[in-house]
Structure 1
Amino acid sequence: MTALNPDRATLNFLNSFPEAARKRGEHLQEEGAVTQIFGNHLFIQGRVEDNGGVHRTTLRLQGNRWFGSCSTEDEETSGAVMFAAMLERLHRGEDLPESPNEFDDTPIVDLIEEKLDRELDDKEADFIFRVEKRYRRYVIEGEIHDHDMVRLNPRWEIASYEPLELWPVPPGDILEFWNYLGYAFDKKNLRYPDFMDAITDLEDVQRRMRDWEQEREVAAWYDRIESVNERPPQEIPHKIEFRLVSTINEARVEAREEYEEEWVSLREKGEIERILKLFDASALRMDAASQILWEHFLRYSEKTGELYLDLENEEACCFMNLLFHQKELKGYMVNLDERPFQVVDEPLSWLCDDDPMDSNSFALQLVTQSDEKVSHSVRLLPGRTELYQSDETVFPGPPRWLEDTEIMPRYSIPKLVIDSLEGVEFLRKIGSSLPPSMKRRVTDLDLFPHLKMWVEQGLTAAETEHLVIDVKALEAKGRREEKLIKAGWDLIKQEPVKGKALLRFAREKLYPIPEILLQMGLTYDEKLEAFKGRITKQFPEKFAEWIEAMPESVELDIEAKLKTILSDPVTAAIRFEVVNQEIDWFDLRVVIDVEGVNLSKAQIRQLVAARGGYVRMDDGSWMRLEIKLDPEQRDAVTRLGLDPFDLSGETHRMHAMQLADPKAAEVFDPKAWKRIKDRARDIKIDIKPDVPDSLNANLRPYQVEGYQFLAYLATNGFGGILADDMGLGKTIQSITYILWLRKYIEETKDAKTKIGPALVVCPKSVLDVWATEAGKFAPELTLKILRTRDDLDLDEVNNVLDILVLNYAQLRVCGDQLNKVRWLTVILDEGQQIKNPDSKAAKCARELDAENRLVLTGTPIENRLMDMWSLMAFAMPGVLGTRAYFKRRFDKRKDPSSQNRLAARLRPFLLRRTKGQVAKDLPPRTEEEVFAGMEGIQEELYKVELKRIQQALLGLDSDEAVKKNSFAILQGLMRLRQICCHPGLIDPKWLKEESAKMNALFYLLDQLREEGHKVLVFSQFVSMLDIIKMRLEVESRPFNYLTGQTKDRKGEIEKFQTTKDASVFLLSLKAGGAGLNLTSASYVILYDPWWNPAVENQAIDRTHRIGQKNKVIAYRLLTRDSVEEKIRILQHQKTALVTNILGDEGFASNLGVDDLQFILSHGGSDDDEIPPPPPKVADVEKVTTKKKSTVQKVAKKAAKKVAKKASKKDSKKDSKS
């Protein structure tokens, strides 16, 4: 060991300590108390053990001076420790280690390699690097935490941010440090890398730990017992009750606690706070009535700031009205004599009579129901039912007519005031009888509302029409007439009366009229001196409903043309004619016979096209048509898939199997029906062959039914679709079908007939699935996967192969050669790949020469119903008519029944089973929505982009305008959704900024990793997957990655399926949404929502399928107050759009102007009409500060790596996924 000679800076540092510290430090160094030291010429870190204590010191050279710090606060000890450390540094000289990761001066890596007698590989060296990093941190900070341990094993549970206690005494070197860590892992049944066994002696550590752990456990139990013993006995809640004491001027709440005789008025805030504190501590109990009174009083006091009720204040009177209506408080509201108030049903009323004190006045006297005069003032308590409070009793009473709430029992009113039209009307309004001297002179009459209605043209423009209504109030004999104008009812005519007679008109029937007019959206027009409303397409239906709901007391005068809306519909009978027939096919035409009315063909066509709705005729009247079909007939026509409202004159080509419904006989000509029935009888329906013996599998009952359905199709020469949910085994059903079909051909055809091969076309990712399952379940079949175009050998196909499997790209490229083969059957797996009938793949598929055609798909409709035509144009050409015919009948119509008709037409050729229907043994599936709230830059970017889109789309005020601009709308929504995912998706410069959703994702991944779960993470943006991937790499987490660009797809899937690590599989929504079997994962995270929920369901079905043993949980990440949340709400509202066919129609193509306005409204809390998100919502908007800071650091590291990649990517890559 070569010692160092001290330089001037070192000498100055050593001489700066007092003599006592120098002597003690020298002694410590000589005795070997410096148990650890490392560093260089600028920095020294040391550990010194003295008198049973461990002290850490750090020395730094700044300029020409050494500065030191020490973990102990004792000045003398601190100086001695720093002095000893500097002497040890001089003593060791050039042998001073630069880091603490050594054992007896041997680096830990060298020690392991020596024990293993080999060099460490990269993965092992990386693990040692992480151990060394943890040890360096421990030496500096003297602590180790859960987040250190999780870096060495991702399944270590992060329980807290407090330091861990893993050893009885601090480890003296890295070897001892690792052995304690290894023991901690082993104790939790967590494995560390096998190569570390070379330096791990768990038995030795266990011996050292046994006594210490026992001591800790005993101490912990003593602490628990002591805390229980020292805990004061729980105070038994004592009872408290409340009551309200009231006069007609004020009211106060009083309380009485248990064992107290006196009631105490709650006059001080401190007293209320004391009771509240006891109440919160569960030290009080009260009966239900006291609790109601207490809670009401607290709310009132908090609102008004008052501790008592001043009954001259109207708000206090309204509060008293509320309390008196609480039946539970009977007996808890008392007067000054402590007698409970009596709340009676008998009302007070006003009695008007001659005033005995003044001959020129009438007296208005408050009386009880028994005409007993009230002798003292009462307090009016306003409310829905007016209450009048006296000293002991509370009465219901007449309507309020005074501003003051203190009501005198008697008022004197001049006779001139009462003896008038206004006066008698006033008495009627307050429920008072007339004075006896006036009764003979007053006649009570009713006013009835009268509405005169007509249609006015050209009020605002030449083509516009308005409903106009003149509203009047009439007395039956014409003695009074009023007109409703904007300001209210205006007197037009009042017949004079003879002598002193007075007419009093009851107006109750007039009160609802303004509200009734508002229901039709009518406004007053000063020029017309009447109310008007615009006549639109929806007007007739709305008008009919409005008139239907009109009160009987309203007199209606409706002009003749307008009145036709209220007429009964014209009735018609329907029948179907067969105009042509070819073997299995019938051409049908709809014929409608209108009864009792002479109408032209054009008028009938108009009425039929309206489908029972109103049609405006040439003379200005309205008419509607009702087709006479009883429920059974209507059901039969619907099951046939025919439209009773089709008067286009066009024929409908239908297969005999589509028409074979016994109940349809009533709507067909008898001769035509006989022909249909005879042909349908020849078709073999009950085809249920046994499962071939050569199949090496036991099919589930529903799989047997599926295979037999395919046999039924082939027996009758039909093509069709097997549309079972993902994961129900469509592949094995198809293999069974191929085995049966080959045997069936052998048994039924001429012996010389050659059995052709089967062609399977599937996505590239599923090629090996077919090979694996065929080899496993039907090894007798010779199968070949076409890897390249050059591998296609027609001679081999015709003479050697039983099954050729290729992908859709190869179908396009090799179409001409494939057409030269007569295929036994062609099976299109994931058949939605040909959903576009103009695509080359769809055209090539239709041109194939095959005896049988089959489509396999879990989601045959993704974006529009035309997708279904394309699938059936391959499987069963003609069954849905020509493309133009189908487009007119099913694709563009808004008639909801068209979807039911399509389902009916497909029924003989399509079989669809959901998991809920057939796979009873499949574990349940749960979907939860996780919301994350944007902050900072992400939120600012979102608001700016939202405002830009709102400005760009300003003026779109109809569904048609939305459709015309659908591309621009979808582009704008795409940018908003990208910002929701991560700001870096719209510009790489924002990659370092935080993403709320990214935080939520890794929060979930952390939880699932700690529990040892595998997770599938789907995103439609490949660049988003790259950002997630980089962060996983930075955090050394195991993952797999699959997009449309991945070459070794099979390898990635196998790695994920076989690994025992809590791994993450990143998949693009399209590339990972078809044909993959990933049952080793039971958790799915959908990072960004897709327009079509069916695509998301496909993604979840990658793991929720046959073979899955665990409950499947899917988390859908959504950004709070964003387009994502709005789209999800609309998806919930529109889910039923096409589920009665096979799947979900394209969501985006169904957006209307109202939907768009809803999606682009800012935020989520300001719009009362926004429905709440679905239940079961996890909310991770709040992440701890410590967690977020870690996330930011890692995200910034990942961002640097991603920025280069992301800047080169464009939207093309995303679309390819």
Structure 2
Amino acid sequence: MPVRQAGEFQMSVRSHIDWFELHGDIEFSGQRVRFPELLAALSRGESAIRLEDGSLGIVPDEWADQYSMISQLGVVEDEHVRFAPAQVALLDALLASRPTVDVDEKFEEIRKKLDSFEGISEAEEPADFKGSLRTYQREGLGWLHFLEEFQFGGCLADDMGLGKTVQVLAALSERIKNNGPLSPSLVVVPRSLMFNWNEECERFCPSLKVLEYSGLDRASLRDSFDDYNVILTTYGTLRRDILELKDQRFDYVVLDEAQTIKNAGSQVAKASRLLEANHRLALSGTPIENHLGDLWSIFEFLNPGMLGRSSVFRRFTDDNDNRSLLTRGLAPFILRRTKSEVAAELPERFEQTIQCQMGEEQQRLYDEMRDHYRQSLLGMLQEQGLNKSRMHVLEALLRLRQIACHPGLLDPELVDGNSAKLDTLAPLLEELLGEGHKALVFSQFTSMLAIVRSVLDRAGITYEYLDGQTRDRKAHIDRFQQDSDCGVFLISLKAGGLGLNLTAADYVFLLDPWWNPAVEMQAIDRAHRVGQTRPVFAYRLICEGTVEEKIAELQQQKRELADAILLENRSVLSNLTRDDLELLLS
């Protein structure tokens, strides 16, 4: 049977009203094959394709890698592969290795604009906006205009504290001013941020009519949606009310802290994709360019179908070449500015680790607990293996971390005993307060914060407190921000990691290490954000010679494992080895 080698490969892109078509013809010594036929052969893993005259065309090995993503991201039809407008940058990146591709005028125009961001410049805040945007925020407003022009969804991923809310409010206010009556815009936020958004709306855009859609009596509010400009709701309400909300057409749908929907299979992620809107926007301060695999769900909300199927997308992100290609293709849709990039507009931030040395009694208790777990766990590992021992491992590491904070976390009778961290923290707070500073104190253990409260009470120090049970958060925050006598704010990690503006503080203390950098940054960024005028000093307190130090060592080798220990992610803990455990318990 005659065999033919692949020759000339001609590709072209043609534009239609709301899609693009990629055409292609491959020549095998005078015999031609359409591009969809080639993709079908590649998907079957074949190394040759049968030609019209009965001969075989040899498919070069490298074509499987070069073109398989095209078939996964586009829709393969009889004569061509079809792509959505939001996929232009991805398609351009996929075709970059081709020496010549014939493209029409419309595709070339959009490609140039996406490639160079030509024409995306600073935009002035609308006249009725109370306040002034910083330079980078005006550039963000210009980027939002760009997304509107092409009807793309985008992710505003500025560092925490750089004012993403303000940029969105300026865009919504300007849109209403320029376009007259519009459908309301829906803003979905974690419950803890409802008051923050409401406050920002009142402060910067008092002309916006804002409705809080939450609470037990919310059903009656739906009939009045069209009387408002902005509807504020929570992710929980969205999940519960999606059958009603999906029938309402919104102008914008904005997801704040959009990492909430990164699990594509969750009910809230599915609900978000059912919403009808003219424009879609996601806000997230988490550095997402390092976690491309988690982006699928967010982009399925922003630009449905843009990244193909979830399973295929995650498989492609395992390859470095594909990751760089995807980074390029997604670049126009993700705007991220870090604090270092806009450093001239923010005060400096200083971070330091303070090593605390345990006293004799705390050290004795820690050593006893460590030796107990070392003996019992290593013996259990020997007999039962790691899988059956995992829960005991988590418990041991939790208990050791608690003793490193304060022995009273394990034995209530010891709450008045000595703790290296308290002995370090108390005099630092007294000194700072005497100099007119304010401080935030974070711990993931509310029982540790309760002990700190008793110390502050005895010292006569005025403070505020916030954990997951706190109601009327706004009142607590306002008091700390405005009352010069209130110098300390005690905050639990889960309650205070997101959305709090606490710029009255210029010192931050992290009482126990989380080793999840994003979480630590969120805590520090409560003070180091837009509106802060002074340098911010952040201190991490770690006890010498404890599991806290060991986790820090282990983190350098196995970062996922360290996250698993502190976030109690048991699936990742499957990577734990006996050697790792011996290091932690040494």
Q: TM-score range by the shorter chain?
A: 0.7 to 0.9
The alignment partner of 1:878 has SS state of coil
Matched ranges for 1:267-286 at <5 A: none
The equivalent of 1:938 in structure 2 is: 366
Deviations 1:425-475 (A, max 9, x none): xxxxxxxxxxxxxxxxxxxxxxxxxxxxxxxxxxxxxxxxxxxxxxxxxxx
Is 1:697 equivalent to 2:121 in the alignment?
Answer: no
The residue type paired with residue 652 of structure 1 is L
The unaligned stretches of length 5 or more in structure 2 are 1-5, 29-40, 48-59, 75-82, 562-566
| Structure-1 residue corresponding to 2:474 | 1050
Work out whether residues 12 and 101 of structure 2, in 8 Å CA contact, stay in contact via their aligned partners in 1: no
How far the C-alpha of 1:1087 sits from its partner, in A, is 1.0
AA in 2 matched with 1:945: Y
State the Cα deviation string for residues 779-807 of structure 1 (Å, max 9, x = none): 22111223524145223211x21111122
User: Is this contact kept in 2: 1:979–1:986, CA < 8 A?
Assistant: yes
Shift of 1:999: 2.7
Specify the alignment match of 1:505 in structure 2. Answer: none
Task: Determine whether 1:871 maps to 2:293.
Answer: no
CA offsets 1:688-716 (integer angstroms, 9 cap, x no match): 45432222222111000111111111111
Which amino acid counterpart does residue 734 of structure 1 have in structure 2?
A: V
Aligned residue type for 2:72: T
- Out of 161, 164, 170, the residue aligned to residue 730 of structure 1 is 164
Aligned with residue 766 of structure 1, among 170, 184, 193? 193
Give the Å deviation of 1:687.
4.4
SS across alignment from 2:276: coil
Alignment check: 8 A CA contact 2:289 2:327 kept: no
1:83-103 deviations in Å (ceiling 9; x for gaps): xxxxxxxxxxxxxxxxxxxxx
| In 1, Cα distance between equivalents of 2:118 and 2:571 | 38
Aligned with residue 465 of structure 2, among 1041, 1045, 1057: 1041
Partner of 2:57: none
2:89 is the alignment partner of 1:658: yes
Please tell me whether residue 1107 in structure 1 is matched to residue 531 in structure 2. Answer: yes
Distance in structure 1 (CA, Å) of the matches to 2:214 and 2:119: 40
How far does residue 854 in structure 1 lie from its aligned partner after superposition? 0.7
1:584 to 19, 22, 28: 19
Query: 1:7 corresponds to which residue?
Result: none
Query: TM-score under structure 2 normalisation?
Result: 0.78
- Structure 1 residues 966 and 695, CA gap change in structure 2 (3 angstroms): farther
Q: Is the 8 A contact 1:830 1:1075 kept in 2?
A: no
Residue 779 of structure 1: aligned partner: 206
**Which residue does 1:1071 correspond to in 2?**
495
Measure how far apart 1:921 and its partner are. Answer: 2.8
> Per the alignment, do residues 1048 and 853 of structure 1 end up closer, same or farther by CA in structure 2, a change over 3 Å counting?
same
CA contact (8 A) 2:380 2:389 kept: no
Identity across the alignment (%): 38
- Name the SS of the counterpart of 2:496 in structure 1: coil
Q: 1:946 to 1:990 in 2, by over 3 A?
A: farther
Aligned: 1:855 with 2:286 = no
Shift of 1:741: 2.4
CA contact (8 A) 1:723 1:910 kept: yes
Matched with 1:1013 is 437
* C-alpha distance in 1 between matches for 2:558 and 2:98: 34
| Equivalent residue letter for 2:342 | V
SS in 2 for 1:728: coil
Q: When you count helix as a share of all residues, which structure comes out higher? A: 2
Contact 1:1015 1:1063 in 2 (8 A): yes
The answer to whether the 8 Å contact 2:547/2:584 transfers is no
Tell me which amino acid in the other structure corresponds to 1:979: I
Q: CA 1:1092/1:795 → structure 2, altered by over 3 Å: closer, same or farther? A: same
Say whether the 8 Å CA contact 1:928–1:1115 is kept in structure 2: yes
Q: Deviations over 1:1102-1143 (max 9, x none)?
A: 000111122111111112223322333454567899xxxxxx
Relative to 1, partners in 2 of residues 1:665 and 1:1027: Cα closer, same or farther, differing over 3 Å? closer
Shift of the 1006–671 alpha-carbon distance from structure 1 to 2, 3 Å rule, reads same
How far apart are 1:1022 and its partner, in Å? 2.1
**8 Å Cα contact 1:574-1:644 kept in structure 2:** no
Match of 1:908 in 2: 332
CA distance in 2, matches of 1:665, 1:900: 12
1:948 has 2:384 as partner:
no
Alignment-mate amino acid for residue 470 of structure 2: T
Letter in 2 for 1:936: R
Matches for 1:801-1200 after TM superposition, within 5 Å: 801-859=228-286, 861=288, 865-890=292-317, 893=318, 895-897=319-321, 899-934=323-358, 935-954=363-382, 969-988=393-412, 991=415, 993-1061=417-485, 1063-1131=487-555, 1157-1158=579-580, 1160-1161=582-583
Structure 2 vs 1, CA of residues 764 and 576 (structure 1 numbering), >3 Å: closer, same or farther? farther
Separation of aligned partners in 2, 1:1007 and 1:1106: 26
**Residue of structure 1 in register with 2:36 after alignment:** none
CA-to-aligned-CA distance 1:575-616 (integer Å, 9 cap, x gap): 897899984356799x9x9xxxxxxx99x9799xxxxxxxxx
CA–CA separation in structure 1 for the residues paired with 2:524 and 2:14: 48
Quick check: 2:513–2:541 contact (8 Å CA) kept in 1?
Answer: yes
Asked whether the 8 Å contact 1:581–1:587 carries over to 2, the reply is: no
2:89 is equivalent to residue 667 of structure 1: no
SS across alignment from 1:1080: coil
Query: Aligned-pair distance for 1:1018?
Result: 0.9
- 1:827 offset after TM fit, Å? 1.0
How far 1:1147 sits from its partner (Å)? 9.6
Distance 1:1009 1:777, change over 3 A: closer
Alpha-carbon deviations, 1:159-208, whole Å to 9, x = none? xxxxxxxxxxxxxxxxxxxxxxxxxxxxxxxxxxxxxxxxxxxxxxxxxx
d(CA) in 2 for partners of 1:955, 1:902: 46
TM superposition shift of 1:1021: 1.9
- AA partner of residue 914 (structure 1): T
Amino acid at match of 1:797: F
Deviations 1:509-528 (A, max 9, x none): xxxxxxxxxxxxxxxxxxxx
TM-score in terms of structure 1 length: 0.39
User: For residue 974 of structure 1, what is the amino acid of its counterpart?
Assistant: L
Specify the SS of the correspondent of 1:1066: strand
Query: After the TM superposition, which of the residue ranges 1031-1040 and 945-954 deviates more from structure 2?
Result: 945-954
CA spacing shift, 1:716–1:674, aligned 2, 3 Å: closer
> Alignment partner of 1:1026: what SS?
helix
Residue type of the partner of 1:1032?
L
**1:72-151 mapped onto 2 (5 Å cutoff):** none
8 Å contact from structure 1 (residues 756, 822) kept in 2? yes
Contact 2:347 2:535 in 1 (8 A): yes
TM-superposition CA deviations, 1:132-153 (whole Å, max 9, x none)? xxxxxxxxxxxxxxxxxxxxxx
Give distance in 1, aligned partners of 2:326 and 2:368.
47
Contact residue 554 and residue 580 of structure 2 kept, 8 A = no
Amino acid at match of 2:19: D
Q: Which amino acid aligns with 1:849?
A: E
Deviations 1:276-331 (Å, cap 9, x if unpaired)?
xxxxxxxxxxxxxxxxxxxxxxxxxxxxxxxxxxxxxxxxxxxxxxxxxxxxxxxx
Instruction: Give the match's secondary structure for 1:871.
Output: helix
Number of residue-to-residue matches in the alignment = 530
Q: Distance in 1 between matches of 2:111 and 2:151?
A: 14
Does residue 713 in structure 1 map to residue 147 in structure 2? yes
In 2, Cα distance between equivalents of 1:663 and 1:820? 37
The aligned runs of 1:49-68 (5 Å cut-off) are: none
User: Does the 8 Å contact 2:157/2:284 carry over to 1?
Assistant: yes
Distance verdict in 2 for CA 1:756–1:1032, change over 3 Å = same
Q: How many angstroms does 1:646 deviate by?
A: 7.3
1:922–1:1105 Cα contact (<8 Å) kept: yes
- Aligned residue for 1:161? none
Q: Spell out, residue by residue over 1:523-580, the C-alpha distance to the aligned partner (whole angstroms, 9 max, x if none).
A: xxxxxxxxxxxxxxxxxxxxxxxxxxxxxxxxxxxxxxxxxxxxxxxxx999897899
Q: Supply the distance in 1 between the matched residues of 2:572 and 2:130 (Cα, whole angstroms).
A: 47
Partner of 1:86: none
Relative distance call for 1:919 and 1:736 in structure 2 (3 A) is farther
Could you tell me how far apart the structure 1 residues matched to 2:505 and 2:542 are?
22
Task: Answer yes or no: is the 8 Å Cα contact 1:692–1:736 preserved in 2.
Answer: yes
Residue pairs, 1:569-580, within 5 angstroms: none
The equivalent of 2:3 in structure 1 is none
Shift in alpha-carbon separation, 1:755–1:1162, aligned structure 2, 3 A: closer
**Mapping for residues 233-252 of structure 1, pairs under 5 Å:** none
